């Protein structure tokens, strides 16, 4: 399992993909620098929370997860090289868990770089109110669930990247804003629910739509369900399908 993890990390850290994700991660940091240099009237705490919620949780987290989650195994299936892995006497569950771990680590590293960097700049010399801590914990948890979901998608369809982007920008971006009940099927809202339980700011500044217990329960259900289904799909996967 550790060998698969290391090989996957090496494959995912290609120069082009790494540069792109680092640039995306540094975008919130750059915006924080602009904010501190400007003459904005917004309080640093409010600006940081709005930036974390609106940019990092809503956009960067799912985007990083869909890039890594759909590629850790889906890329090998698409180009036919998965045959070399699947033909070895390795449990399909171990393969899925190793690939999931790689996607989780890479996604978490990307969003934590953005969160810690932007938070440090925006809140420098100000009360932190556990903003960076709260969102950092929530982002790592959200990265795991998103990674499991998009890894599963890569085993369901050859258009996993497109399907993932539709989920992120249509379902979570548009549908969730129109129908309140759909937040129960939104990883973004689970992530915000966890952050809200740790961040110590007034409800007027940040108020998640889901409580902590509900967010944890739904996150566990979706993450475990997606991982279980991914294992089942890979167990039924025929080697001939990769060629």
CA distance 111 to 56: 7
Instruction: Give the predicted TM-score (pTM) of the model.
Output: 0.92
The 10s digit of each residue's pLDDT in 185-198 is 899 999 999 999 99
| pLDDT of the residue at 238 | 65
Domain that holds residue 32: 2-242
Query: Residue 239 gets which letter from DSSP?
Result: G
**What's the maximum distance between 2 C-alpha atoms anywhere in the chain?**
62
Dist CA 202 CA 124 (whole Å): 20
137 pLDDT higher than 50 = yes
| pLDDT above 50 (res 156) | yes
Structural domains in the chain (count): 1
**Rounded distance, CA 57 to CA 187, Å?**
10
The mean pLDDT value of the chain amounts to: 89
- pLDDT for residue 79: 79
Quote the DSSP letter at residue 67.
Answer: H
Of 74, 143, 71, 135, which is closest to residue 104 (Cα–Cα)?
A: 143
Question: CA geometry: angle at 149 spanning 188 and 25, to 5°?
Answer: 55
- Average pLDDT (62-86) is 87
Tell me what pLDDT residue 78 has. 81
Under 8 Å between Cβ of 162 and 66: no
| pLDDT tens figures, 157-166 | 989 999 999 9
Average pLDDT of the residues in 115-127: 89
Lowest mean pLDDT, pick from 78-82, 105-109, 132-136: 78-82
Average pLDDT over residues 209-216: 92
Nearest-angstrom CA–CA distance, 199 and 207: 10
Query: How many Å apart are CA 109 and CA 99, to the nearest integer?
Result: 16
CB contact burial 77-104 (16+ within 10 A = b; e otherwise): beeeebeebbeeeeebbebbbbbbbbbb
């Amino acid at each position: 399992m550790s060998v698969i993890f290391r090989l996957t990390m090496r494959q995912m850290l290609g120069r082009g993909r790494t540069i792109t994700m680092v640039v995306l991660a540094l975008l919130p940091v750059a915006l924080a620098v602009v904010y501190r240099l400007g003459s904005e009237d917004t309080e640093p705490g409010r600006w940081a929370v709005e930036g974390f919620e609106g940019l990092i949780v809503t956009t960067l987290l799912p985007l990083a997860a869909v890039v890594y989650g759909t590629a850790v195994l889906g890329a090998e299936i698409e180009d036919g090289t998965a045959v070399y892995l699947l033909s070895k006497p390795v449990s399909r569950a171990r393969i899925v868990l190793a690939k999931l771990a790689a996607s989780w680590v890479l996604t978490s590293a990307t969003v934590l770089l953005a969160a810690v960097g932007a938070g440090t700049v925006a809140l420098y010399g100000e009360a932190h109110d556990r903003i960076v801590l709260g969102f950092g914990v929530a982002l790592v948890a959200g990265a795991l669930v998103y990674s499991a979901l998009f890894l599963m998608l890569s085993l369901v369809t050859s258009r996993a990247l497109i399907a993932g982007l539709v989920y992120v920008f249509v379902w979570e971006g548009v549908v969730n804003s129109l129908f309140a009940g759909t937040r129960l099927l939104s990883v973004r809202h689970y992530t915000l629910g966890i952050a809200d339980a740790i961040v110590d700011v007034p409800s007027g500044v940040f108020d998640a739509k889901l409580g902590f217990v509900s967010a944890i329960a739904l996150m566990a259900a979706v993450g475990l369900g997606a991982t279980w289904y991914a294992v089942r799909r890979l167990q039924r996967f025929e080697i001939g399908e990769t060629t």
